[in-house]
């Protein structure tokens, strides 16, 4: 059991939500992009009524590779946390199998 004040180190392997997806990489002609596009830069576009951020990963032969994956996709994450509160689980949390915050939960 954890106690208040205990430091909890950990790490997280890449999971499906942060794994790179080929469908999130596209090749675009430079003449369709802003003139100031550079490798390492970001472009924001509307796609299916949602804002999408694309990172420019390379430019060659009049085309740019745009990567829509999260910057941490495919990386192992190291986490450091400190326990700030310990309490018994509510019956609803036990039923749902996860913690609910101070304002309830929203599924």
* pLDDT string in tens for the chain (107-residue length): 568 888 888 887 766 555 555 568 899 999 999 999 999 999 998 888 889 899 999 999 999 999 998 887 778 888 888 988 888 988 988 999 888 877 766 66
- What pLDDT sits at residue 42? 95
- Which residues does 5 contact at the CB level (< 8 Å), separation at least 6? 82, 83
Query: What domains sit in the chain, N to C, each tagged with a CATH number?
Result: 1-20+72-96 (no CATH), 22-68 (2.40.10.330)
CA–CA dist 81, 3 (Å, integer)? 12
Q: Which two three-digit tokens encode residue 15?
A: 């999971």
- 54 in Cβ contact with 68 (< 8 Å): yes
The order of strands in the sheet holding 25-29 is 25-29, 63-67, 50-60, 42-47
- pTM score: 0.56
Instruction: Report the Cα 107 to chain-centroid distance in Å.
Output: 19
């Amino acid at each position: 059991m954890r106690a208040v004040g205990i430091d909890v180190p950990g790490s997280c392997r890449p999971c499906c939500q942060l794994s790179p997806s080929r469908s999130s990489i596209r090749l675009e002609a430079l003449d369709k992009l802003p003139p100031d596009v550079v490798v390492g830069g970001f472009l924001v576009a509307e796609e299916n009524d949602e804002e999408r951020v694309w990172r420019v990963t390379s430019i060659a032969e009049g085309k740019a590779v745009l990567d829509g994956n999260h910057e941490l996709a495919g990386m192992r994450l190291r986490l450091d946390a400190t326990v700030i509160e310990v309490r018994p689980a509510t019956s609803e949390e036990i039923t749902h199998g996860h913690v609910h915050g101070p304002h309830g939960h929203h599924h």
